[in-house]
Amino acid sequence: MFFLLSKIIGFVALPSNAIAIVCGVGLCLMVMRWRRTGVCLLTVGIVSLLVFGYSPAGNVLLLTLSERFPAWQYDGHDPDGIIILGGAIDPAISAARGSVETNGSAERVIAALELARRFPKARIVYSGGTGNLVTDFVPEAPVAGRLLETLGISSERIVLESDSRTTDENARFTRKLVSPKPGERWLLVTSAFHMPRSIGVFRKAGFDVEAYPVDWRTRGWVDAFAPFDRLSAGLASSDTAVHEWAGLVAYWLTGRSDALLPSPRSD
């Protein structure tokens, strides 16, 4: 039930979808009896479209998340395992085309390959099922596993978790699958803006991991003052940020995360 509700609420909460809904309702009201209310809603929708499409609002929301955890620094102690969260591969298109098709978060896979070669004794865990409600239910992890093997990573090192649909399930299912031992060092690879929520659920699941953020969407706080030159780019940034903030709030309220906005060090 949580998965279904999260998808429905997440769809409505995205600025691009919310704006379309508001404008659509406004137009409907305009052709009916409530013209004044319709005009007000349509005005709100247009103003919101301009704000989220051209202003740096999306970047400000993203930066608050992506700057929370700094880039990982090697201290001479090799990790025992590396966990990569799914979201970088489109499994349905990959299956249909017979090739590995990545998306805007492909840096997760690139980082996995880099870390696997840098730390040859570490286990490589790819956690990713399918979170789709309307397309083919093709899990992501097996596609990633084949890619890792093709690029030279031994199958003996690869662990695939293909049942998870949410970040919460990523944490719980991965912990159960790998059974981390006390004193082991595990890195968690995911997009920088997704790291606070990911760390929160892994801590809640009792799995102590270190953040290895990738897929930075901004240059830093300098982008908090830079407007977008394309409406679609601003909306995309706003959608990503609002989706992640909605997830943080929902996970905290339902007890799936140890904090509303997890910090680099656990309390």
Question: What percent of the chain is predicted at pLDDT more than 70?
Answer: 96
From residue 40, give the alpha-carbon distance in Å to each of 17, 26, 34: 18, 7, 10
Q: pLDDT, tens digit, for every residue of 132-158?
A: 666 667 899 999 999 999 999 999 999
Q: What pLDDT is attached to residue 134?
A: 61
What homologous superfamily does CATH list for 72-214?
A: HUPs (3.40.50.620)
Angle at 175 between CA 171 and CA 177, to 5 degrees: 120
Could you give the strand order of the β-sheet that contains 210-214, starting from the edge strand earlier in sequence? 158-161, 123-127, 81-85, 186-191, 210-214
Please tell me the predicted confidence (pLDDT) of residue 6.
74
In the predicted model, what is the mean pLDDT of residues 161-179? 96
pLDDT at 135: 60
Q: What is the pLDDT of residues 41-90, one digit of tens each?
A: 999 999 999 999 999 999 999 999 999 999 999 999 999 999 999 999 99
Query: pLDDT tier at 267 (50, 70, 90 boundaries)?
Result: very low
Query: pLDDT averaged over the chain?
Result: 93
Please tell me the predicted confidence (pLDDT) of residue 136: 60
- Where exactly are the structural domains of the chain? 2-65+220-253, 72-214
Dump pLDDT digits (tens) for 187-197: 999 999 999 99
Q: What is the mean pLDDT of residues 178-186?
A: 96
